[in-house]
Amino acid sequence: MSTVITNIGELVTNEPGAGEGPLGLRRDAAVVIDGDRIAWTGPAADAPAADEAFDAGGRAVLPGFVDSHAHLVFAGERAEEFAARMSGRPYAAGGIRTTVEHTRAASDEALRANLRRLVDEMARQGVTTVECKSGYGLTVEQEERAVRLAAEIADEVTYLGAHVVPAEYEDDPSGYVRLAATDMLAACAPHARWVDVFCERGAFDADQAREVLEAGKKAGLTPRVHANQLTEGPGVRLAVELDAASADHCTFLSDADVDALASSQTVATLLPGVEFSTRQPYPDARRLLDAGATVALATDCNPGSCYSSSIAFGIAIAVRDMRMTPDEAVWAATAGGARALRRTDVGHLAPGARADVQVLDAPSRLHLAYRPGVPLTAAVWKAGSRVKGPQNETREAMGWRSS
Ligand SMILES: [Zn+2]
């Protein structure tokens, strides 16, 4: 089964050689999907025939978003905590324990249904690759269950047993770290590709984080680190030292942290929804970009510090308040997320790439930041399957390029 998406007003390929600028922009373009892959991109006038055609009506077409950081295996919600925080109480890592209680008590079916609901919610907003962490179970059985359920539904699975020290280990944090680095890891590793640690005041210090991450590497997992969210802590330098795929948050960075990221393969993944929802200062993306670091944008969707599944919301914040250009933000939410997951098959549109495509209800990718809060996703294909789509509309009906 092949599909030609034609009459694309603006195509973002993220292939610098395929068009203009770092986003590889093309006008009046077409894309051909064959099975689960991109078969062809180029001028609409030259598009080969396909089994079916979709008229983009002059709209913009982009690679699907890659959300490289989310916590979706949980039960319950924490709206009251959010309301209290907005009334002046600061965010602290301990709130995670509330979700742990609800998650432990939930059935597999309930957790699966919530995870499915959130992944579908993301897909309707253009997200075609989702990373999902454990971290609300915090026992061997519960963490194993979380990564197993995540592996059923999410594209990428991360073992985050070292999310926070559970209440029952309050007096023995090193005992918990040992568990997370041994039996819990052994139970989870078969279902996961990544190992992550919340390296932060109130969670795990550098030595504890290193113990879990190094054990994870020995078990065949690749590290990623929750780093420097609340303080200029050791997380970023630890991530770089261990060749982590990504250091996530990067809100409080020293010059040495910025240099370390810039001279490494470790992606700086920024999560603007968290700072929005915790009323913290935003990370300075410009400083990272100017230093030469690779920047990704992700949601961190979770019931505590950011219950938003909207990458577009993060793009708008990054442009408005983190000094990213609109094009840098679009790249960071697509190709940047792919880099943070060390994936070469997603985040760009070129022959051979996975057919993850979104059509915006807008003539340009600029509208993602220009029209904050507006649902702009018109159609989505994930691995060549249509997961969302409106009726074809003519360019004239959409009101673009008519004059
Ligand atoms: Zn997180």
Start-to-end C-alpha separation, the chain:
37
Strands (E), 212-254: 222-227, 246-249
Give the Å distance between the CA of 34 and the centre of ligand 1.
35
Give the Å distance between the CA of 300 and the centre of ligand 1.
5
- Quote the CA–CA distance of 342 and 311 in Å, as a whole number: 19
In terms of Cα–Cα distance, which of 24, 20, 80, 1 is closest to 334?
24
CA atoms within 13 Å, Cβ hemisphere of 272: 23
Look at residue 400 in the predicted model and tell me its pLDDT. 43
Look at residue 264 in the predicted model and tell me its pLDDT. 98
As residues whose CB is below 5 A from the ion ligand 1, the structure lists: 300
Give the Å distance between the CA of 275 and the centre of ligand 1.
12
Length of the chain: 403
Give the Å distance between the CA of 362 and the centre of ligand 1.
31
DSSP string, 146-177: HHHHHHHH-SEEEEEEETS--GGGTT-HHHHH
In terms of Cα–Cα distance, which of 349, 318, 332, 340 is closest to 24?
349
In terms of Cα–Cα distance, which of 254, 228, 252, 231 is closest to 244?
228
Residue numbering of the annotated binding site for 4-imidazolone-5-propanoate: 78, 136, 163, 229, 305
Look at residue 393 in the predicted model and tell me its pLDDT. 47
Give the Å distance between the CA of 354 and the centre of ligand 1.
26
Tens of pLDDT along the chain (403 residues) come to 999 999 999 999 999 999 999 999 999 999 999 999 999 999 999 999 999 999 999 999 999 999 999 999 999 999 989 998 899 876 555 578 889 999 999 999 999 999 999 999 999 999 999 999 999 999 999 999 999 999 999 999 999 999 999 999 999 999 999 999 999 999 999 999 999 999 999 899 999 999 999 999 999 999 999 999 999 999 999 999 999 999 999 999 999 999 999 999 999 999 999 999 999 999 999 999 999 999 999 999 999 999 999 999 999 999 999 999 999 999 999 999 999 999 999 999 999 999 999 999 999 999 999 999 999 999 999 999 999 875 444 444 444 443 2
Give the Å distance between the CA of 69 and the centre of ligand 1.
6
Give the Å distance between the CA of 287 and the centre of ligand 1.
22
Q: Are 128 and 64 in contact (CB under 8 A)?
A: yes
In terms of Cα–Cα distance, which of 329, 379, 367 is closest to 124?
379
